[in-house]
Amino acid sequence: MFSLSLLQFLTLLFILLYLFSLLRILVASATSSSSSSNGHKSYPLIGSLISFHQNSHRLIHWFTHLLSVSPSQTIVLNRLGWKNKMIITANPANVEYILRSNFENYPKGKPFTDILGDFLGMGIFNVDGELWSTQRKLASHEFSTKSLREFMISVLEEEITTRLIPLLESSIENGGVLDMQDVLKRLAFDTICKISLGWDPCCLDYTRPVPALATAFDVAAGASAMRGTAPANWVWKAKRLFNFGSERRLKEAVGVVHSSVTEIIRERRKQMAGSESRRDLLSRFISAGHGDELVRDMVISFMMAGRDTTSSAMTWLLWLLTWHPTVKKNILDEVATIVNDHDQSNKSQSLNFEDLKKMDYLKACLCESMRLYPPVLWDSKHAGDDDVLPDGTPVHKGNRVMYFPYGMGRMKSLWGKDCLAFKPDRWFTEPGVLKMETPYKFPVFQGGPRVCLGKEMAFMQMKYVVASVLKRFELIPVCLEKPVLLPMLTAHMDGGFKVRVHRRSDFDPL
């Protein structure tokens, strides 16, 4: 039988009284509301809560609209009280100030690290200060090594040759429908687990059951994302106190993730004690002398970063290419030229690091796709002290300050009147000369001291997979309607990307 402790009873009573008070204030203050210059209403005490609720199903589009009509491309919203301000910006000068110029004043902050704390613990993506700096130095060294890069390429070659291509061939033979978003998530999870843990979950082998770790990872990521959409932190903390709903699912999933990774760490320590040499990140972190808990949190953070981000970016690009045949032909021409320039004795025509570096047009396509559909739609910091952003927006200590890559990709002031169009050519200063925009105009990989360490490895992985798929197969979408972007910790395609697969040789040349 369910029973409440005194603390739980008092907490529940407080929540009910608080909600009742909010309702009374809402009714009483409806006539005293104020409209901001951006068109949303703010009420005493509850701030923009009503607007948030009304737009909860379309937050990214609402934010984008408010930013587009703001002269400074910055908006300020109040959430449950005057002190609970959220500042959202699509202004590159502000983004640079937050991520680089005044980096020390804009850490992740406790409100943010609390949200992901149960899942990511003390991993590099969820900490500030000295603990972040220590992990950053260690990870930076490892990501710069040639051996890790070569290990990644060998993992990709094996995964694509032995699993991805046979899976797509099998889909052709049985004439079935394949969800490429699911395929790419499985591929990315296999790849990042091999690189991070030296462990093969075999997710891309559809004849095997999905490992408990992979399923739990999905649940934990989704439930953690739900925390970020709550109107205030006390809402999800109350659910956690009562072990209710998404918080109960999160607790169970995190338990599976942590226990599974901890067991892999313990087994690896035994192997390393026997002088077995390994190239994965886990073995490198263990060799650095860190304890099991910190090593666990570090590898889980890298698994999260390397799994959903790359699969999201590739899914959206492959969908875009189905509607832009000329762009797809340009990619194929580039890949064919590079493959033909290979050592002719390389009968497998497998791609190496130097080949991938030359694929500038494919990189431009990836950048253009991520401009429109960034894997991480927004990122938040919390001000350490009072401040003023370059555009004049005042910031108070504790305010949540958020830069918004999704909205930035849709600002005419940044990308021109055709900002909603998929045009890879915008990434070239002249034919054949690739340009990379400043990370503060295109902050998909962050910028400043926290710029993504795995940026180049991510590009190599995405190039390898996309090139390998496109040169062999044609993907025909089952649904002709534009897919809906689902904002979670990373951006997903709602309902997946369902396709029928055909061999490219069965189609007329583009």
Spatial CB neighbours of 112, under 8 Å, sequence gap ≥ 6: 126, 380, 381, 382, 400
Q: Are strands 491-493 and 485-487 parallel, antiparallel or unpaired?
A: antiparallel
**In terms of C-beta density within 10 A (0-12 exposed, 13-18 middle, 19 or more buried), how is residue 381 classed?**
buried
Q: What is the DSSP string of 282-299?
A: HHHHHHTT--HHHHHHHH
DSSP H or E run through 464: helix 455-470
At 72, is the secondary structure helix, strand, or coil? coil
Cα–Cα distance measured from residue 95 to residue 414, given in angstroms and rounded to the nearest whole number:
13
Q: What is the 3-state secondary structure (H, E, C) of 177-226?
A: CEEHHHHHHHHHHHHHHHHHHCCCCCCCCCCCCCCHHHHHHHHHHHHHHH
CB atoms within 10 A of CB 226: 18
What is the rounded CA–CA span in Å between residue 375 and residue 492? 8
Q: b vs e for 410-448, b when ≥16 Cβ sit within 10 Å of the residue's Cβ?
A: bbeebbeeebeebbbebbeeeeeeeeebebbbbbbbbbb
What span, in angstroms and rounded, lies between the C-alpha atoms of 311 and 259? 25
The token pair that represents 408 in the structure block: 């930035």
For residue 433, give Cα distances in angstroms to 26, 429, 443: 57, 6, 21
d(CA 330, CA 328): 5
As a whole number of angstroms, the distance between CA 433 and CA 386 comes to: 43
Tokens of 216: 């739990």
Is 452 marked as binding a ligand? Answer: yes
Contact 165, 197 (CB under 8 A): no
> Which residues are bridge partners to 41 per DSSP?
35
Helix axes 233-241, 246-273, angle to 10 degrees: 80
Binding-site residues, in ranges, read: 452
Binding-site residues for heme, in ranges, read: 452
